[in-house]
């Protein structure tokens, strides 16, 4: 029969082995811990989107897009239109007063703002047209704005302005153009022509 000191020594060795195994088993890989902390982003996908937007019980816009991706980001809920979008804006009499199209859009749902880029074009029933590479559409104020280069063409009287920055209503009225660039022009009727007196 082994002595008490031998048994104590064996118990200590076994306890030490279990402690080592336990510590090794509890060791966490830093990357695995980081992965646990990351949110798994769920993405909802919709195709052939055809939706109407209303405000105060009145239809304000009709949006169509081939693809819609909805997800939760750090800044809130977002809806992405990666393959273009088109919007018809309606007047109170439910007639189209202006239209907007872009090859890309990102809707910040919590802010009710849409970032548009890549061949952004808007025009109204008077024939006024806006061209720019990127701009925002604020649904709360029903306004467009950008600090990027924008070109505005107006039919009557004939004008074409290019500027760095702009804001206007979504029907292209109350236009303010910032930093007008060279090449802008306006055709003014000659006061000596018959009918212009």
Given this model, what pLDDT does residue 94 score? 83
The structure's pTM equals 0.70
pLDDT tens, residue by residue, 15-27? 555 555 555 555 5
Given this model, what pLDDT does residue 70 score? 93
Given this model, what pLDDT does residue 169 score? 93
Structure tokens at 133: 């590479």
Given this model, what pLDDT does residue 47 score? 94
Q: Which residues of the chain, if any, have pLDDT below 70?
A: 1-41, 183-197
pLDDT tens, residue by residue, 124-144? 999 899 999 999 999 999 999
Given this model, what pLDDT does residue 100 score? 94
Given this model, what pLDDT does residue 38 score? 56
Closest Cα to residue 150, out of 117, 115, 126, 173?
A: 117
Given this model, what pLDDT does residue 181 score? 76
């Amino acid at each position: 029969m082994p002595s008490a000191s031998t048994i104590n020594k064996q118990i200590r060795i076994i306890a030490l082995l279990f402690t080592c195994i336990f510590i090794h088993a509890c060791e966490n890989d830093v990357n695995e811990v980081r992965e646990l902390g990351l949110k798994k982003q769920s993405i909802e996908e919709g195709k052939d989107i055809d939706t109407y937007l209303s405000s105060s019980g009145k239809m304000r816009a009709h949006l169509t897009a081939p693809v819609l991706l909805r997800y939760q980001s750090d800044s809130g809920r977002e809806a992405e239109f990666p393959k273009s979008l088109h919007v018809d804006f309606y007047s109170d009499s439910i007639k189209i007063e202006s239209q907007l199209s872009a090859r890309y859009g990102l809707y910040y749902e919590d802010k009710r703002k849409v970032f548009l880029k890549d061949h952004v074009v808007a025009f109204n029933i008077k024939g006024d047209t806006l061209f720019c590479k990127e701009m925002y559409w604020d649904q709360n104020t029903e306004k467009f704005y950008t600090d990027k280069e924008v070109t505005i063409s107006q039919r009557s009287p004939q004008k074409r302005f290019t500027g760095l920055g702009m804001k206007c209503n979504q029907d292209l009225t109350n236009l303010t153009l910032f930093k007008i660039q060279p090449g802008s022009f306006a055709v003014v009727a000659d006061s000596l022509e018959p009918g212009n007196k």
